[in-house]
Amino acid sequence: MIVELGCGAAQLSRQLLVRYPSCEVTGLEVDQRQHAKNLQNPQQRLHFVAAGAQAIPFEAGCFELALMLKSLHHVPVDQMHLALTEVHRVLKPKGLLYISEPVFAGVYNEVIRLFNDEERVRDAALREVQQAVASGVWEQVSETLFEMPVHYRDFADFAQRMIGVTYADHQLDTVTLQAVRARFELHMTADGAHFVRPMRVNLLRKH
């Protein structure tokens, strides 16, 4: 049994179910528009629940694995500790928590931060993970840094996927939009804009 917290469209969970026919996944999502889309796109052994990581509506010890894919920094800062406490509660003994988070660095980040500066929340998420391990309730199995390639056909593609997201209200004024476009188009090539996004993955085990 797997739980994905802040599942979005649950792309990874859908792939896991195809690759591992014996597993089941529950995807939690707080964005009501995305949750409605998920319910309209069902898949066998994939269950969707409208809920957040800071209040997981399941009994203790019912999951072997929890996934937080670029979602911890979206939890309100003052509730991040509660979210990790909740994940710890619903995992079985020795259960695993996989946390992937974007690193606040790189040229791609310099484009994004013009309209969505996440330095504070990403720092808070990393701090919370480190404190959770230091507390002794989690064991850190591994920490991995890598670069994830990102490609956009053009600025319209970027705007649709990054500015027009359903989980945030990025209402950009004309000046900001022009600045984002100018920064983005510095990286345009004949086949679109190519970036890399620095990522960090922390794999934790419940003590």
Burial 120-147 (b: 16+ CB within 10 A, else e): ebbebbbebbeebbeeeebeeeeeeeee
What averages of pLDDT result for each successive group of 10 residues across the chain (207 residues)? 95 93 95 94 95 96 97 97 98 98 96 95 97 97 97 95 70 90 97 97 97
Measure the CA–CA gap between 140 and 114, rounded to whole angstroms.
33
Whether residue 163 contacts residue 117, with contact meaning beta carbons closer than 8 Å, is answered with no
Domains and CATH numbers, the chain: 2-109+117-147+199-206 (3.40.50.150)
Cα 28 to Cα 50: distance, rounded to the nearest angstrom: 6
Phi, psi of 119, rounded to the nearest 5 degrees: -55, -45
Q: Evaluate whether 9 touches 35 at the Cβ level (below 8 Å).
A: no
Please answer whether residues 128 and 120 qualify as being in contact, where contact means their C-beta atoms are separated by less than 8 angstroms.
Answer: no
SS3 state of residue 139 = strand
Residue 170 CA, distance from chain mean position: 18
pTM of the predicted structure, to 2 decimals: 0.91
pLDDT recorded at residue 171: 74
pLDDT of residue 172: 82
Per DSSP, what are the bridge partners of residue 100? 69, 201
Contact 204, 132 (CB under 8 A): yes
- The confidence score (pLDDT) of residue 168 equals 56
pLDDT tens-place string over residues 38-54 = 999 999 999 999 999 99
